[in-house]
Structures are given as C-alpha cells and as structure tokens.
Structure 1
Amino acid sequence: MLDQQLAAQLKAYLERVTQPFELVASLDEGKSSTELRSLLEQIAGMSDKITLRTDGNDARKPSFSLQRQGTDTQLRFAAIPLGHEFTSLVLALLWTGGHPPKESEETLQAIRDLPGEYNFEVYMSLSCHSCPDTVQALTLMAIQNPNIKVTIIDGALYQKEVEERQIMGVPTVHLNGEMFANGRMTVEELLAKLDTGAAARDAAKLNQKAPFDVLVVGSGPAGAAAAIYAARKGIRTGILAERFGGQMMDTLSIENFISVQETEGPKLSAALEAHVRQYDVDVMALQRAAAIKPAEQAGGLIEVTLENGAVLKSRAVILATGARWREMNIPGESEYKTKGVAFCPHCDGPLFKGKKVAVVGGGNSGVEAAIDLAGIVEHVTLFEFMPEMKADAVLQDKLRSLKNVDILTNAQTTEVIGDGTKVAGLRYKDRASNEEHQLDPAGIFVQIGLLPNTDFVKGTVELSKFGEIVVDARGATNVPGVFAAGDCTTVPYKQIIISMGEGAKASLSAFDYLIRNSTPA
C-alpha cells in the first residue's frame, strides 16, 4: 500500500514506539478490506511492538482499532487513512505506542479530567485538508481519556451511511448519536465546547494580563508578520490567534508565494505559527475581539474587549482580522449550510461523487472549483452573474474543455430550494430575459469572493463602503495608535504575500508611533 519513500518514513517514526499495542481489523471479502489488510500488515511488519489481529467483529467493515496493552483506549478508523489523513494515522500509531504528544500538560490534563462518557463519530474525506486537525484532536482525546470513544469514518468509503445521516460537509462530528459540530476544530476548541466553564476561566486569566506595547488582533499572514516584527523590536507583544493562518487554512494549493514553488495552506499556516512562537509573543488562542475603545476614551491605553468578556489593554493595536467567504444572501442559503450549501470543494466534493452540483462564481476560485469537481461528480453547472467570466483565460479554456460542465453567464441565483433536510434545487434568473429557471443540483458550492471581518470596529474605525478598514500608506487608521493590515483593509489585491508585507509595515509603523508617544505599558 505504501510506496518505498512513505514506508521508509513511517518505519523511522515507528522506532519511537515504546509500548506494545494491537491493531485489530474488522474485514470482509471486499476490495477495500483487502487494501486495508495490506496496509496494516505492512505497518505491523515495521515494529516488533505492533501486533495485527484480523478477528475484529465491528459492524463497519473495513475498519480497525488501536489498543495499547493494559489500557481501555477506544479509537477506531473506519477508513484507509492515507491521503491527507496519513499524518493522522502516523500520530495515532505513535501516541498509542507511548510517544508523548506536543500538547501542553495543562491541555492533556484537561482532556483526562472531562467528566462523563463521550462517543464521537467524525466523518471526513481523504481529500479534505481541513479534516486532519479535527481527526487528530479527537484521536488524542481518545488516547488520553478511556471514557472518550472515537470512530473516524471516511465518507467516501461509507457513502450509504453518509446519505442516511444526511452529512453533506466534512469534517462533521457526531456525539452520542447527535450532531455536535461541523468544520475544522482543534483540541482547545473541542475542550471549550465540552467544558462550559472554560470561557469564564479564560476571561478571568486574560483580565489579569499586563498591558501590551503592541496587541495584534488576528493570526493570518498579516497578523503573524506583524507579531514577529513587533517582537523583534523587544517590546511586549500579544496576538489574538483565533485560528493561525486564517482564510489560508482553507486554501489547498499555493503556487505564487515567492521562493516557495508549491505548498498548501495548512502547511504554510503551521509554519507561520511555529515562527511566531519562536519569539516572546503572548499567543492567546481561540480568542475573538468583540469591540475596541480608543485610548482617549479608555484612560490612555487602547482597550480590546473579547467575546468572552475579557478586556485587554495596549499602547498600540494592529487589526489583521482577514476575511470570510462571501455568501449569496438569498433565501434558503443559511438553512442549508453544510446540508448541500458548501464553500470548500476540496473538503466536501467527494461527498457528491456521482451527483450533480452547481458552482456559483466565475472568478478564478469558482472556475478552479468547477474543474476540480468535474473530476468527481456527474455534472457541474457554473453560474456567473456577469455576461462574461472573470477567471484567467487559461482556466476558462480548461473549464470549457470538460464535457460534464455547463456554464451559465448573466445568471442571478435567487433561492436555494430544500426538502427540509438537504438541498434539492437552485433557482436563478436569466438577467438578459428576466426568465426564472430552476436546476436540481445535490450540492451548491459558493465561490464569490470574501467579506472583511470588521463588524466589531464599526462606528469606531473608519470603514469603506465595502466594510474594509481605511488605512493610509503606513497602515494607520483614523484612530491614533490603531493600525491595520491584510485582507480586512482597503489595500488592493488580497494575496498572501501582500498581506505579509502589509503586516510587517503596520508593525513598523506601530513601533514608530510608540517611540514618538511616551505612554508606558
């Protein structure tokens, strides 16, 4: 199953296993079971501490559990975890075999201290670059706490089950048979969702923090660059890191980051976080700003109020809150999110294998999505509001060469139709004739651009008519001591490399502001 290079890498990793454990496979006579058996035999042959049994009797076949001797670990893969989940497999093997995880002891103890019993089922797809974070977080929790049972299910392998449970987006997590969460989740996010008192405890800790010289709000490319540049000046720096990488985490392929020929969003995001943590930066994870109060109204220091009620103070603030997917804002859209309305073709595309889908948006993102989906689904219909698509010519040529793609220009989507549980159709208007039409796709992938995450500064910081923070050439806003950078600003061209440069510039401008103003932190 594993090629020579992957096998060599895995064997090197398995040398770190210190405690014996079993792989217990539940198999049938199908092709997938044969493939899983081959993979597990290969793994077991790499370490004398791993034993393979094939007498499992789980209802999901193929699947396998990992069981360390002397423990009650309840971790099962109803999948052949390759593709984006190969790393999840490696970590599951290492952690089950006694290799310590990188998480802090505080986090690990919080997992062990969770009261009650939990039966998690997480549905993923091997092509989903968002799924591994959730899979690995739940894997860790299952290994650390015997009262947590986790089953990781490949939606493409168990398509009938996915259809019965009406799962139309991954990762999707069920807890004790009920819908629990959808989308990428970290260990900290899962703990916060399970431990209802966590937010209040976090707020109390944050309220005790001393004022910062520079507080960065946001941890995408702009925020990370700003934090690094500020920390290198030797000043007290903090960063509100709701999700390192931001929108970049949802980007599969990056080929225009100069000097790096090709990388992936999650990989570059991890590198950003590692770089920030090399410096003396106070990283406050899973925190989102709710309001900002200028220094002149707050007694000399800028105040940032968080959603959990905590208040942080700083001499200067850099807003780098990025952007989010723009929605169609039509009836039915919000009701059927994750039930057929999707925003990530790489993540959710495999769930629509053999079905008809629609892509809304004729820019580069929309056309790229349609091209990717055309290789998976039965048919793709692309909707473009304007008379002509805006995507690069090379992408349009590729799209038009595909036989299972239709392109509708001058088409205004007007309503998402559903049957109460999932998407059943999409209504649209021909803008040239004003005629109404309806198609019946099983999924609708929305790719119509981004909206800046600036709602919390309305009325305080000047915004453009598009909701972007207005900045000058130095990244300064209209509020003294408040700077901004990246996709949330009026700076044109929303690109990773531009955001990083703007973050660095805003940080240098903030430092220049500090040395010209004597208010000490």
Structure 2
Amino acid sequence: MLDANIKGQLKAYMEKLQQPIELVAAYDDSKKSEELKQLLEEIEPMSEKISLRTEESTEVRRPSFAINRVGTDIGVRFAGIPMGHEFTSLVLALLQVGGHPSKASQEVIQQVQELEGEFEFETYFSLSCQNCPDVVQALNLMSVLNPNIKHTSIDGALFQDEVEQREVMAVPSVYLNGQPWGQGRMTLEEIAARLDTNSAEKEARKINQKDAFDVLVIGGGPAGSAAAIYAARKGIATGIAAERFGGQVADTMGIENLISVPYTEGPKLVAAMEQHVNEYEVDIMNMQRAEKLIPAEQTGGLHEVRLANGGSLKARTVILSTGARWRQMGVPGEEEYRNKGVAYCPHCDGPLFKGKRV
C-alpha cells in the first residue's frame, strides 16, 4: 500500500507519539476494505505505541477506522482510505491523537477547549480535493482538543448512496449533528469563531481598543500584503484587516503566472506571504469583513472603517486592496444552486457526479 520511502518517513513521524493510540477498523467484503486492512497493518508496527483491533459494532460505516487515544474519549474516524490529498490528514491525526502538540496558536486552542455543547461533525471529502484537508484537519484537531467534539471524515466517492441521500454535490461539505452546516474551505480559526457564539462581540471589543494606524490595508491578498510590507519597512504603524488572509489565491491550486516562479500552489504562496508580512510589525486582523468607509472629511480627523462584527478601526491612510471573487455567469439559478449542482472544481466535486448525466 505504501512505498518504502513513505513508510520510512511515516515511521520517523510515529517516533513522536507521546501516548498510546489504538486503530479500530471496521471492514466489509469490499476491495476497499482489503486496501484499508493492508494500510492499517503497515502502520501498526511503526511504533510500540500503536495497536490494531477490529470494530465489533454494526452501527459504524464500513470500511472505516477510528484512531483513539487509549483510555480516553479522544479520537477521530475516517470512513474510507485517506490517501491522496488526505494522507497528510491521516499523519496529523495519528500524531495529534497520540499527544503530539499542534502548531495552532494558543489563543485558538483555548477557544476550542472552552466551547460548550455537544458537536458531532461529519465531513464529506474527495481524495482529489485540495481544499478538503484544511477542513478535515481543523475538525480532527478540535475533536482532540475538546472531548465534546466528535468528527468523522467520509470519502464521498466511496459512500455514493449516502451522498445521494443527503444530496451532497460539493466538497468539502460539513454536517453538524446531522444537519448541513458548511461548505468549502474553512480554517480552524473560522470554524472556532462560528461555534463560539460570543466571538464576534469579543473580537469587536478588542478591535475598538486599538490605536489609530498610520496605514490600514483592507484586504490580505498579494496586493494588500505588499502594501503592508512596504509601509511597515518605513517604520509606519501598519495594520491589515482581511476577511481571509490570502484571499482567492488560497483556493488556487496551480499558479504559473507569477514572475520568476515557474510554478507554485496557492496555499504555499499564502503561507510564504504571511510569513513575510510577519517579519515586520504588521497587525494582521483576520476574519474581519469591512462594511463601511467613513472618510476623514466626515469624521473631522481620521478615516474610519466599520466592520461587520461592530468593531471600528481608524487610520490616517486607508489602502483598499479588496481583491477578486470567482466570476459568475449571471444565469438564472446560479446563486441559488451554488454547491448544490453548480460546481467549480472537477477535481474536487467531480467524483460525486460519477456515472451521472451532467
């Protein structure tokens, strides 16, 4: 199942396990179950902290497997075989359930740990989807951090009957407690903020306490990042307010038109961009949607930018770099059926339409 090179790398990662984990497999008579069995039997010997057993319950999806921290309620479940883009999700799940710490910020970790309520998440993914791992990995980590959160990742191409019954027509599609909850790429911060009912109010209070900026950039794409870097290099008090740092670039898998870079991928470019911005004293305010600009002429002093959460930012200079959106065709029903039959990525959503007339 795994070639020698990948086995070697995975075995090295498994040395980082701090607590014993148990792989609990649910098989059936399918070929995919045979592949899953082979994969799990290759993983088990990689560490003394890994054990493998067969699931007895008849109520779980098959083929599937859980990764559980022994003696606790902490764990995640994959329905299918997490290869392709999801192989990294498998590796992270093994490590995090095994006690290896996450690189997420302490502020977000605490926010997740303090969430109250019972959250049963299910995420439908496809192995060829480049946006799905972000959602799968975020929800897996949340289920490790908070025992009230459970998460199952489901390969939509493998569970076609379930996909048709729930009318899943785009991935990633997230269900919470049996009901549709979200679609598309979402970060850990975005999911946590949405579940934390007081997050907008708390964030608005923090925003309102900030001093006025010399330069405030609205938008966190390439243009906004470049503007912030050039301002901050001059010692100017600079801030970025962005609905999502990276913008549309984060959703673009292949980028071949960036001068001096023959090829890169959107998530890599955004990560490098954020690292570059963070080398300077730039206040990055992510998940902030600007709704209104009040010019200095009307305030009698500074420009004011009002945000959707009720917060307000002030600055001597405001740079608008709001970027782009996916182009719409303007045909009837396009918006209403977005992600409900109107799809944007043949790699991500294509497997859900296998064998159907499109």
TM-score bin (small chain): over 0.9
Please give the secondary structure, in 1, of the residue aligned with 2:325: strand
* Structure 1 match to 2:159: 158
**TM superposition shift of 1:49:** 1.2
Distance 1:111 1:276 in 2: 26
* CA contact 1:19–1:68 (8 Å) conserved in 2: yes
Please give the secondary structure, in 1, of the residue aligned with 2:133: helix
Q: Aligned letter for 1:33?
A: S
* CA contact 2:92–2:137 (8 Å) conserved in 1: yes
* Structure 1 match to 2:20: 20
Please give the secondary structure, in 1, of the residue aligned with 2:46: coil
**TM superposition shift of 1:56:** 4.6
Matched, 1:119 2:120: yes
**TM superposition shift of 1:105:** 2.1
**TM superposition shift of 1:276:** 1.9
* Structure 2 match to 1:300: 301
Matched, 1:81 2:82: yes
* Structure 1 match to 2:206: 205
Please give the secondary structure, in 1, of the residue aligned with 2:336: helix
* Structure 2 match to 1:344: 345
Distance 2:93 2:74 in 1: 11
Please give the secondary structure, in 2, of the residue aligned with 1:347: helix
Which digits, 9 at most, give the CA deviation of each residue in 1:31-55, with x for residues without a partner?
1111111111222222221112223
**TM superposition shift of 1:326:** 2.2
**TM superposition shift of 1:63:** 0.7
Distance 1:206 1:264 in 2: 32
Question: What does 1:442-453 correspond to in 2, within 5 Å?
Answer: none
* Structure 1 match to 2:98: 97
Question: What does 1:228-239 correspond to in 2, within 5 Å?
Answer: 228-239=229-240
* CA contact 1:252–1:346 (8 Å) conserved in 2: no
Matched, 1:286 2:273: no
* CA contact 2:75–2:97 (8 Å) conserved in 1: no
Q: Aligned letter for 1:51?
A: S
Question: What does 1:146-185 correspond to in 2, within 5 Å?
Answer: 146-185=147-186
* Structure 2 match to 1:257: 258
Distance 1:26 1:182 in 2: 27
Distance 2:242 2:48 in 1: 42
Q: Classify 1:171/1:311 alpha carbon distance in 2 versus 1 (closer, same or farther; 3 Å).
A: same
* Structure 2 match to 1:4: 4
**TM superposition shift of 1:74:** 3.9
| Cα RMSD after superposing both structures | 1.6
* Structure 1 match to 2:320: 319
Distance 1:34 1:23 in 2: 15
* Structure 1 match to 2:278: 277
Distance 2:215 2:11 in 1: 45
**TM superposition shift of 1:210:** 0.6
* Structure 2 match to 1:36: 36
**TM superposition shift of 1:228:** 2.1
Greater shift, 94-103 or 230-239, is seen at: 230-239
Q: Aligned letter for 2:178?
A: G
Which digits, 9 at most, give the CA deviation of each residue in 1:268-289, with x for residues without a partner?
2222222222322111111111
Question: What does 1:217-232 correspond to in 2, within 5 Å?
Answer: 217-232=218-233
* CA contact 1:172–1:181 (8 Å) conserved in 2: yes
Which digits, 9 at most, give the CA deviation of each residue in 1:134-179, with x for residues without a partner?
1111001111111111110011111111011100011111111111
User: What percentage of residue pairs aligned between the two structures are identical?
Assistant: 63
**TM superposition shift of 1:305:** 0.8
* CA contact 1:168–1:348 (8 Å) conserved in 2: yes
Question: What does 1:446-461 correspond to in 2, within 5 Å?
Answer: none
Please give the secondary structure, in 2, of the residue aligned with 1:336: coil
Distance 2:222 2:19 in 1: 40
* CA contact 2:73–2:147 (8 Å) conserved in 1: yes
Please give the secondary structure, in 2, of the residue aligned with 1:324: coil
Distance 1:105 1:221 in 2: 27
Which digits, 9 at most, give the CA deviation of each residue in 1:302-332, with x for residues without a partner?
1111111111011212211111112222322
**TM superposition shift of 1:209:** 0.3
Greater shift, 34-43 or 253-262, is seen at: 253-262
Which digits, 9 at most, give the CA deviation of each residue in 1:333-379, with x for residues without a partner?
2221111012233321221122233xxxxxxxxxxxxxxxxxxxxxx
* CA contact 2:69–2:75 (8 Å) conserved in 1: no
* Structure 2 match to 1:247: 248
Q: Aligned letter for 2:95?
A: L
Q: Aligned letter for 2:24?
A: V
Distance 1:243 1:14 in 2: 33
Please give the secondary structure, in 2, of the residue aligned with 1:45: helix
Normalised by the length of structure 1, the TM-score is 0.66
**TM superposition shift of 1:232:** 2.0
Distance 2:70 2:279 in 1: 37
Q: Classify 1:45/1:233 alpha carbon distance in 2 versus 1 (closer, same or farther; 3 Å).
A: farther
* CA contact 2:82–2:127 (8 Å) conserved in 1: yes
**TM superposition shift of 1:61:** 1.0
Q: Aligned letter for 2:18?
A: T
Higher relative contact order (CA 8 A, sep 6+): 2
Distance 1:29 1:356 in 2: 29
**TM superposition shift of 1:299:** 2.4
Which digits, 9 at most, give the CA deviation of each residue in 1:14-35, with x for residues without a partner?
2221111111111112111111
* Structure 1 match to 2:355: 354
Q: Aligned letter for 2:336?
A: E
Q: Aligned letter for 1:255?
A: E
Distance 2:332 2:175 in 1: 27
* CA contact 1:74–1:143 (8 Å) conserved in 2: yes
* CA contact 1:224–1:276 (8 Å) conserved in 2: yes
Q: Aligned letter for 2:28?
A: D
Please give the secondary structure, in 2, of the residue aligned with 1:297: helix
Matched, 1:52 2:48: no
Distance 1:81 1:133 in 2: 14
Distance 1:252 1:4 in 2: 28
* CA contact 2:253–2:265 (8 Å) conserved in 1: yes
Distance 1:50 1:347 in 2: 32
Please give the secondary structure, in 2, of the residue aligned with 1:214: strand
Question: What does 1:322-471 correspond to in 2, within 5 Å?
Answer: 322-357=323-358
Q: Aligned letter for 1:219?
A: G
Q: Classify 1:26/1:84 alpha carbon distance in 2 versus 1 (closer, same or farther; 3 Å).
A: same
Distance 2:109 2:185 in 1: 20
* CA contact 1:129–1:266 (8 Å) conserved in 2: no
Distance 1:42 1:260 in 2: 38
**TM superposition shift of 1:258:** 3.3
Distance 1:40 1:261 in 2: 38
**TM superposition shift of 1:239:** 0.9
